[in-house]
Amino acid sequence: MTWPRPHLQLGLPPRPDALDKASGREKYACDFYPPGLLWAGVKRAGVPHARLRGLNLAAARALPGVTAVLAAADVPGVNRQGVVQKDQPVLVDDKVRYSGDALALVVASDQATLARALALIETDLEPLAPVLDPEEALLPGAPLVHPERPQGNLLLEGRVTTGQGAAALEGCAVVVEASFDLPRQEHAYLETENGWAQMGQDGRLTMVASTQTPFRDRLEVAEVLGLEPGRLRMVAPYCGGAFGGKDGVTVQSLLGLAALHAGGRPVKMWLSREESILASSKRHPARLRYRLGSDDQGRLQALEARIIYDTGPYDHLGGAVLTLGLEHAAGPYRIPHVDLHGQAVYTNNPIGGAFRGFGVPQVAAAMEQTMDLLATRLGLDPLELRRQNALKRGDVNPVGVTLAGSTGLAQCLEAVAGHRQWKEAPAWRAAAPAGQRRGVGLAAVLHGMGYGPVIPDVANAKVELTGEGVFRVYCGVVDMGQGNAGTFLQLAGLVLGQEAEGLELVLPDTDRTLPSGSSSASRTTYTFANALLPAAQALKERLLARAADALFATPAEMALVPGAVRHRPSGRTLPLAQLAKMLSPEERTATHRYRAPVVPERPSADPALQLHGLPHGVFSYAVHLARVEVDELTGLARVTGYLVAADCGQVLNPQVWEQQMQGGVAQGLGYALMEELPAPAGQPQHTDLATYLIPTALDLPPIECLAVPSWEESGPLGLKGCGEIGIDGPLPAVGNALAQALGRHLPQAPFTPERVLMALQEDGKGAGS
Amino acid sequence: MRPVLLPASLEELWPLMRDHPGAAFMAGGSDLLVRLRQGLVDPPAIIGLEGIAELGLVHDEAPGWLFLGAGASHTALLEHSLVQRRLPLLAQALAVLGSPLVRNQGTLGGNLGTASPAGDTLSPLYALEAQVELRSATGSRRLAIADFILGPGRTALQAGEIIYGAWVPLAQDWSLAHFEKVGLRQALAIAVVSLAALISLDDGGVVREARLALGSVGPTVVRPRQAEQALLGRPLDAASLKAAARLVRQEVSPIDDPRASAHYRRQVAGNLLLRLARPAD
């Protein structure tokens, strides 16, 4: 591999992956077409709840060009998958639990034959009453998604109380109350779910898939296929977007099953956009009810939060989403008394799953809009209210965890307070032209990193000096587009004194790289870099020592420079290629395992909540500001200015950091303004991106990103995660801006022109009335 | 396999049409390819029209008329000086049609032939009272656009005919030419409501003629004649526009769909008139 640009220094652009991606040279999983390729696809249920009485596969099997038609009985291992609870069938064996359920798998010679064969499959489905509303799902007598479960439709329930809990609201001078209804959001990654797989003559199955979790996938797929995990090799190229939607198996089990029946030929499976929208997981829709109380000075005293997440038919990390939501439900404030209660509920709707933010955008939407209601009630400036309640280092957070690490919220608030977009807000609002209304809204948010106290949050890094004298970085964690792989190269280059041409990257491959957890949870760079830096350091020390031995010098006299080790006093150099020849392969390699620290507090004695991640110890913080203009004739709300000031610890690569902020804000503005996937009767209302709208460049304002760096002691070079803090704030910031413009909060998101116009008209203030 | 035929002239086109009955015409393909992929159409052949140069003509050779060739892309029209100078109303609509990529690919003839009530060029052409020229091997005919478009996806085009172009009368200088599209985002969004308005004012600021055409609020573009009538002889102020807006809301017949409710469309169809208000001098 040759890098087209020589410059590769930590803290400076360009991203090492940029040119190959922009020029189309980089190969994503979907770009592979090995010779002799077969195509696999599935027949999906199309109904939300039904008993599977039978399948007639004969006509499909008889079609020329069809290699195999498979059903549940053909799954050799356990026909259930899932990350926490394995409750999702690979192929339906008893009943359909949502419209996207897979009934039968076809392997065929080409895509047209595949489509014809799928159409020839006859299904015999006995309709069952679906359960589509999460609150109704908890009522006695509701249809049960998993009748065998003793908890009925409740996937997980959690409660955290501190102080006197909700009872403390009685003693508050001011109490505000509000309800919020948040939509189902589609990930809409550019690269839909796909992969290809082949059973080798050696009996090993190789699979290349678009995934965030190759090591976990290997275990899951092995269990489904009844194979030893060692017989599976999973390879994870760069993803064309994932955002949580590939945190877990998508096509992998089906693809593995297809490969077992492909006679050794490679098999490809690639969901169309329509199939992706039908079958993939989404951001959980949520309903929240908040009661927040303070004293008459605006010091927060008590919060009661009631949260319901619609988790759909399967546990696609829904319990973990609920738990992270609970932990973040009270926002980044000191609140001595809280009563936080949440439920993740099974329904026959599309799967609620992991999605950037992971339960936090929903609770941040509720908490931050409730904060503005309180500010209005108290007659306080919303920034001032946040300032006086903001968590600082050393505080106990609302769920009872001492913040011993970096806590930069107050600094973010100061950065916004001093910024032109905030200081000029009153003048800007007053200058609204006739027929328009303007508002400026804030949201303060936090986001925890990693898996919490029970599930080991581990990375294993490996760095090798190759026989050719190049350093090869074995990256065990996926780069789904966020740029972490490039950061890893830059970090290795920093420690090892090398520029781009002296460094190579190996992307995740279960045969070559070491297990390193998922690319998720704002933990990717934090955890892996904490393994990589010591590995690179160990290799460096060994190389300096061995070079010193060779030159009859001492290690302290040696320096790693691009392509060589130099004896500093004499200027003599030993090329790395020559040094490599003096070393055994073991000596040329260093590895390091890192496990993220956990905090000792246990906000809940419930082991399920601990397993699902409560609590975290390291948080990033941000303050978001949105300027919104509302057109009185159409109700169209446009965000015309945006600012986010974020504490993500030290910023190693400003370009990658800004891209993460901008991407998170953009996706969050889509969530605020237009993204919504209703599922009347359990069917996604939108089938493609012509009607499921995500923002275009013209819908987004300039997004100003201010880094407010702190030093995170536990982080690699002081870094904290920055992948999710950008998406937690846009919806409440826009909601608060709109409330300022309209004089009232809108309970239901997204804030579409129709909802905004109706609010204007109910006021009797709409210009058209 | 489905044949794809690429005639280079009308002379080459006519025999191909005779030999391939039921063939679909393709200019830019921005509608047809989507419908093919969705399986909504399955024509026995496709006849590509992009090789027929005369379909792309734009000229003002006939006095009082501007001719817009059916094969002209939206971008070509948008950038054409005649369109910019003489048809600012159409230019405003073209500027917000689809995206730059769709505008490069899609054509005026395609927008006419697809006959969607949301077609962005259609409400301006209704307001301009354009005529559509149809050609066949044996002749040509011109229809008022309102007679050419019969309903959603339905036109008066007959077997053996193609859409040759649109003739736009240049008789009047309008005091005000205004187009507004309400979509759910700023690009690549189908209109939820659109308004094309041409207003002629006398020296005293009183409305002499008003033409209004609304998209996406009925099976075809709607000309709200009562609202137009109500504006005559009145100043273009909020009071008269509000009165006309009430009439507009009665004259449109929108439906609910996943993009917007009928109620919203009706409301906004009227509201958009208020954008025409001019401060009294």
pLDDT tens digits, A379-394: 999 999 999 999 999 9
In this structure, are A46 and A77 located in the same domain? yes
Contact state of A695 with B185 under an 8 Å Cβ cutoff: yes
Cβ-count burial A181-197 (b if 16+ within 10 Å, e if not)? ebbbbbbbbebbbbbbb
B78's enclosing H/E stretch is helix B74-79
In a domain, A290, yes or no: yes
CATH 3.30.465.10 fits B55-169, yes or no: yes
Q: What is the DSSP letter of A63?
A: S
Kindly state the percentage of chain A with pLDDT values over 70.
98
Mean pLDDT of A128-142: 98
Same domain? A321 vs A344: yes
Fold of B176-276: Enolase-like; domain 1 (3.30.390)
Flag whether residue A277 sits within 8 Å of chain B, measured between CB atoms: no
- Given the DSSP bridges, would you call strands A589-595 and A619-631 parallel, antiparallel or unpaired? unpaired
Q: Which chain A positions have a beta carbon within 8 Å of B261's beta carbon?
A: 754
Say yes or no for a CB contact (<8 Å) between A633 and B272.
yes
What are the structure tokens assigned to A285, written together?
A: 């829709």
Average pLDDT (A415-433) is 98
Nearest 10 degrees: CA dihedral of A388, A394, A398, A399? Answer: 170
Pairing of strands A194-199, A337-346: unpaired
In chain A, the percentage of residues whose pLDDT exceeds 90 is 96
Tokens 């172009």 locate to B165
Please indicate whether, in this complex, the C-beta atoms of B275 and A633 are within 8 angstroms of each other.
yes
Distance, CA of A109 to CA of A68 (rounded, Å): 10
Residues of B in contact with A690 (CB under 8 A): 34, 190
Please, what is the Cα angle at B159 between B154 and B164, to 5 degrees? 75
Calculate how close chain B gets to A653, using CA atoms only, in Å: 32
Residue type, A458: V
| B260 burial via Cβ count (<10 Å: 0-12, 13-18, 19+) | buried
Between chains, do A754 and B261 touch, taking CB under 8 Å as contact? Answer: yes
Q: Does residue A689 lie in a domain region? A: yes
CA distance A754 to chain B (A): 6
Whether residue A187 lies inside any domain: the answer is: no
Are the beta carbons of A43 and A84 closer than 8 angstroms? no
In a domain, A143, yes or no: no
3-class DSSP state for residue A263? coil
Q: CB contact, 8 Å: B36 with chain A?
A: no
Question: Per-residue pLDDT averaged across A615-620, rounded?
Answer: 98
Q: How confident is the model at residue A2 (pLDDT cuts 50, 70, 90)?
A: very low
Answer for the pair A498, A627: CB distance below 8 angstroms, yes or no: no
Strands (DSSP E) found in B137-256: 139-144, 149-151, 154-155, 161-169, 176-182, 193-201, 207-215
Block residue for tokens 């990693």: A450
Determine contact: A764 vs chain B, CB below 8 A.
no
Domain end residue (candidates: A595, A616, A642): A595
Within a domain: A645: yes
Residues contacting A139, CB < 8 A, separation 6+ = none
**CB environment A230-250: b (16+ within 10 A), e (fewer):** eebbbbbbbbbbbbbbbbbbb
pLDDT of residue A42: 98
B42-to-A12, A439, B2, B39, B116 alpha-carbon distances in Å: 53, 51, 9, 7, 19
pLDDT of residue A765: 54
**CA B19 – CA B16 distance, rounded (Å):** 5
Closest approach of B69 to chain A, Cα-based (Å):
28
- Position A12 scores a pLDDT of 79
The answer to whether the bond into A382 is cis (omega within 30° of 0) is: no
Residue A150, phi-psi category: left (phi > 0), alpha (psi -120 to 50), beta (remainder): alpha
The C-alpha R_g of chain B, in whole angstroms, comes to 19
Instruction: Name residue A483's amino acid.
Output: G
How distant is the Cα of B268 from the closest Cα of chain A, in angstroms?
6
- Per-residue pLDDT, A7: 56
- Closest CB from B99, B188, B271 relative to A768: B271
CA separation for the pair A474, A641 (Å, rounded): 41
Domain boundary (A248, A270, A292) is at A270
CA atoms A602, A604, A610, A616: torsion sign: negative
Total domains present in chain A: 3
Query: Alpha-carbon torsion A93, A94, A100, A104, what sign?
Result: positive
Query: How many helices (H) and strands (E) would you count in chain B?
Result: 12, 13
Q: What is the CA radius of gyration of chain A?
A: 27
- Does residue A27 contact residue A237 with C-beta atoms inside 8 Å? yes
Q: Is the CB of B188 inside 8 Å of chain A's CB atoms?
A: yes
Q: Per-residue DSSP letters for A507-554? A: --BTTTSPP---S-TT-HHHHHHHHHHHHHHHHHHHHHHHHHHHTT--
Do residues A505 and A556 lie in contact, with contact meaning Cβ atoms separated by under 8 Å?
A: no
Chain B residues with CB-CB distance to A768 below 8 A: 242, 245, 267-268, 270-271, 274
CATH number reported for the structural domain that contains residue A672 in this entry: 3.30.365.10
A110-139 mean pLDDT: 98
Q: What is the mean pLDDT of chain A?
A: 96
In chain B, which residues have their Cβ closer than 8 Å to the Cβ of A634? 182, 268, 271-272
Task: Examine residue A347 and state whether it is found in any structural domain, yes or no.
Answer: yes
A685 and B258 in contact by Cβ < 8 A?
A: yes
Q: How many CA atoms lie within 13 A of A74 on its CB side?
A: 18
Residue A440 has pLDDT above 50, yes or no: yes
Q: Is the pLDDT of residue A1 over 50?
A: no
Q: How many CB atoms lie within 10 A of CB B38?
A: 12
Q: Which residues pair with A154 in a beta bridge?
A: A345
In 3-state terms chain B splits into helix, strand, coil percentages (rounded to 5) of 35, 25, 40
Question: Is A13 a domain residue?
Answer: no
How confident is the model over A5-63, as pLDDT tens digits?
445 677 777 888 888 999 999 999 999 999 999 999 999 999 999 999 999 999 999 99
Same domain (yes/no): A247, A200: yes
- Do residues A124 and A60 touch, judged by C-beta distance below 8 A? no
Task: Note the pLDDT of residue B252.
Answer: 98
Task: State the Cα–Cα distance between residues A540 and A560, nearest whole angstrom.
Answer: 8
A58 and A85 housed in the same domain: yes
Q: What are B29-35's contacts with CB under 8 Å, separation 24+?
A: B29/B105, B30/B98, B30/B102, B30/B105, B30/B106, B30/B110, B31/B106, B31/B110, B31/B114, B32/B110, B34/A690
Contact residues, chain A, for B31 at CB < 8 Å: none
Q: Is residue A390 part of a domain?
A: yes
- Asked if residue A486 lies in contact with residue A653, where contact means CB atoms within 8 angstroms, the answer is yes
Q: Which domain holds residue A73?
A: 32-128+193-270
pLDDT at position B280 is: 56
pLDDT over 60 at A290, yes or no: yes
Q: What confidence category does residue A423 fall into, taking pLDDT thresholds of 50, 70 and 90?
A: very high
What residues does each domain of chain B span? 55-169, 176-276
Last residue of a domain, one of A533, A561, A595: A595
Q: Which residue has the tokens 């490039």?
A: A486
Residue A11: its pLDDT value, please? 77
Span A146-154, mean pLDDT? 97
Bridge partners of residue A626, in order along the sequence = A441, A642
Q: Which residues of A touch B258 (CB under 8 A)?
A: 685-686, 691
Neighbours of B228 (CB within 10 A): 23
Binary contact (A695, B261; C-beta < 8 A): no
C-alpha angle with apex B75: B62 to A633, nearest 5 degrees?
100
Classified as helix, coil or strand, B144 is: strand
Residue B279's pLDDT is what?
A: 67
Provide the residue-wise pLDDT of chain B in tens; the chain has 281 residues. 899 999 999 999 999 999 999 999 999 999 999 999 999 999 999 999 999 999 999 999 999 999 999 999 999 999 999 999 999 999 999 999 999 999 999 999 999 999 999 999 999 999 999 999 999 999 999 999 999 999 999 999 999 999 999 999 997 789 999 999 999 999 999 999 999 999 999 999 999 999 999 999 999 999 999 999 999 999 999 999 999 999 999 999 999 998 999 999 999 999 999 999 986 55
